[in-house]
Chain A
């Protein structure tokens, strides 16, 4: 009936506060036909205990090592209070169609992509390319199935607080394109069209995009196809005007030439 007790000294409870993370997932196609997938991770560790900082650094080191094995290049900047990591995977191609297929392969690879589903298609015509992109990501499910509730309450709380303060964005970039439809924010910067999709931490997030890109000689060109057509029509119209002007000029100059020739002959006769 005796109760046995083995007690270690109760040390001060380790106070570990939460750190927050910013994750940007950027993918897309560059003007030079290369497809890329980049993870930019910024972790603020100011409020973490030293023990936990070491754990977090080790976590991301392991993460980076594995992604390097998958072909990513990495840049890590580590200070006492923060970690910034940029992981990039890039693959070149000879045309945009192939580039889009490469992007699709990256985003459909479960080892390097966090998307739960994708639906990506493209078609290439001589002067225009069309893209469709639909994808889902479910961070809430990832968090839910990490079973935070199996952890002690304060650790669970700490991680949950950290997650709540964190921010995730997913963006897809294309050489300057016309966006037909999207649920993201469109940014046009230096000949690139970037669509930024905020990722919800509490529910499934869906991204959709329909885009078209004007091309000429296998290179993306600025402007949509209608404006390019109008521009060409304007050039044709200008040419027509110039042809009339040139024709008139040729006729006038020719008349002048004939006049000068006659005058020259008359002058020769007078002298003779």
Chain B
């Protein structure tokens, strides 16, 4: 009996639980069915939403504007034009005479000068419109602080990285007067010569005297200058041609200068001018002023110098050796008498002749300087292959049936030393021995 009671109790519990579960499961199933319907609805709505390609566009206009901002660089206030090449120095000018197009051309001219890795440390070439009191140009090596900054709205404006490097700057002056590449090429090449020689050859101190360059150049020890006086500008200017760095820069132009820097200038003497020769006068030229100091050998005449200059860079240029031959210069005093309506005119002039010892392909240029107070060399006359090796100074003249024409260059006074340079087609330049003449 007891067992039956127990079984009945268990049966009641099971039945109640079963009914409870059936009730729960039914309710829950109903809920799940509803949930499934709602999930389907949600899914459909999301499908429709995603298929409709919704948009909510935002454009970062601040960033777009930042892309249009002028480039970041702390330029001097008066810079008007710039050219930024991918390799080499930044080209700048403060004059409209040197706009971006011309700066680009000047950059291309610079790159025509023989160069190597040292070009990477040339920071700027700056063409100044105005002239400088003391210089046609200068080269300066200085510790530059160069800022790199990314201009973007999400990068704070104050974030910048400063690079400190010794960098060279070339300043070219008088850009309003010298407005062509041709007129700047020689000076540019000379200044780049400073950059090149300081990079590879010596520092601006007395150790330069022990450099390989100084040994090759053999400048007289009692003449050579190294360190510029900080207080005596006049001494520096008066002895400029004896500064080792200037001689080295001149050597660079002769040995490694660009074709434009080494362009031959046609100098006309007083007789050419009297007969209407057009004036192409430019002071600096490879044939007239290959180097400032004519009291020493030219670069090509100095043994080992060519190879030494080219030893720092990769270059396929090979030096052609020309045998040096003495050039004999002859100076003859002459006069020409002219009868005038009221009296007469006697013109005293000098014919300077020399031998074309190197043949007709070579261009000869007569130059002179003051032997007692050497300061600079002055070109007088260029002679090409089809011309006689003859130059005039003094008072020259000629007559027509109606008129007498005369012109005096006032050069036939005092003492002068004459030298003839010979410029070969391959760029080699030699000079004759000097000939001194006293006109008084």
Counting chain A residues whose Cβ lies within 8 A of the other chain, the interface size class is: 35 or more
Of the stretches B29-37, B395-403, B409-417, the one at the interface is B29-37
Of the stretches A78-86, A186-194, A251-259, the one at the interface is A251-259
The majority secondary structure among interface residues of chain B is: mixed
Point out the residue from B15, B64, B138 that lies within 8 Å of A250, measured CB to CB.
B15
Contact yes or no, B146 A152, CB < 8 A: yes
Q: Considering the chains assembled together, what is the distance between the CA atoms of A145 and B65 in angstroms?
A: 11
Contact yes or no, A118 B88, CB < 8 A: no
Counting chain B residues whose Cβ lies within 8 A of the other chain, the interface size class is: 35 or more
Of the stretches A4-12, A27-35, A196-204, the one at the interface is A4-12
Point out the residue from A115, A141, A149, A263 that lies within 8 Å of B67, measured CB to CB.
A141
Of the stretches A49-57, A91-99, A167-175, the one at the interface is A49-57
Point out the residue from B25, B40, B148, B158 that lies within 8 Å of A159, measured CB to CB.
B148
Q: Considering the chains assembled together, what is the distance between the CA atoms of A75 and B7 in angstroms?
A: 71
| Neighbouring B residues of A153 by C-beta, 8 Å | 87-88, 119-120
Q: From known contacts A10-B203, A249-B18, infer whether A111 and B153 are also in contact, taking CB-CB under 8 Å.
A: yes
Q: Report the nearest A residue to B59, measured CB to CB.
A: A117
Residues in B122-154 with C-beta less than 8 Å from chain A:
123, 132, 134-144, 146, 148-154
Q: Considering the chains assembled together, what is the distance between the CA atoms of A212 and B45 in angstroms?
A: 11
| Neighbouring B residues of A110 by C-beta, 8 Å | 60-63, 153-154
Of the stretches B164-172, B310-318, B361-369, the one at the interface is B164-172
- Inter-chain contact total with CB atoms closer than 8 Å: 280
| Neighbouring A residues of B71 by C-beta, 8 Å | 145, 147, 150
Q: From known contacts A243-B25, A250-B22, infer whether A52 and B136 are also in contact, taking CB-CB under 8 Å.
A: no
Instruction: Check if A269 is an interface residue, CB within 8 A of chain B.
Output: no
Q: From known contacts A51-B164, A145-B151, infer whether A128 and B67 are also in contact, taking CB-CB under 8 Å.
A: no
Contact yes or no, A254 B11, CB < 8 A: yes
Point out the residue from B42, B120, B158, B203 that lies within 8 Å of A225, measured CB to CB.
B42
Point out the residue from A55, A117, A141, A250 that lies within 8 Å of B162, measured CB to CB.
A55
5 A-B pairs with least C-beta separation: A125-B42, A4-B135, A250-B18, A147-B71, A66-B156
Which residue numbers of A lie inside 8 Å of B, CB to CB? Answer: 1-11, 13-14, 16, 51-52, 55-56, 59, 62-63, 65-66, 104, 108, 110-121, 123, 125-130, 132, 141-143, 145-155, 159, 180, 210, 212, 225-226, 228-229, 232-233, 235-236, 239-240, 242-243, 246-247, 249-250, 253-254, 256-257, 260-261, 263-264, 267
Given A146-B148, A225-B42, A249-B14, 18 other A-B contacts at CB below 8 A? A2-B237, A3-B135, A5-B228, A6-B140, A7-B139, A111-B154, A112-B154, A120-B58, A126-B38, A145-B71, A155-B165, A212-B50, A225-B46, A229-B40, A236-B36, A239-B25, A240-B29, A260-B4
14 sample A-B contacts, Cβ–Cβ < 8 Å, listed by A number: A5-B228, A9-B205, A10-B198, A116-B64, A119-B58, A128-B39, A155-B148, A155-B165, A225-B39, A226-B43, A246-B19, A250-B18, A260-B8, A264-B4
Which residue numbers of B lie inside 8 Å of A, CB to CB? Answer: 1, 4, 7-8, 11-12, 14-15, 18-19, 21-22, 25-26, 28-29, 32-33, 35-36, 38-43, 45-46, 49-50, 53-64, 66-67, 69, 71-73, 84-90, 119-121, 123, 132, 134-144, 146, 148-156, 158-167, 187, 190-191, 194, 198-199, 203-205, 228, 236-237, 240, 243, 245-246, 283, 376
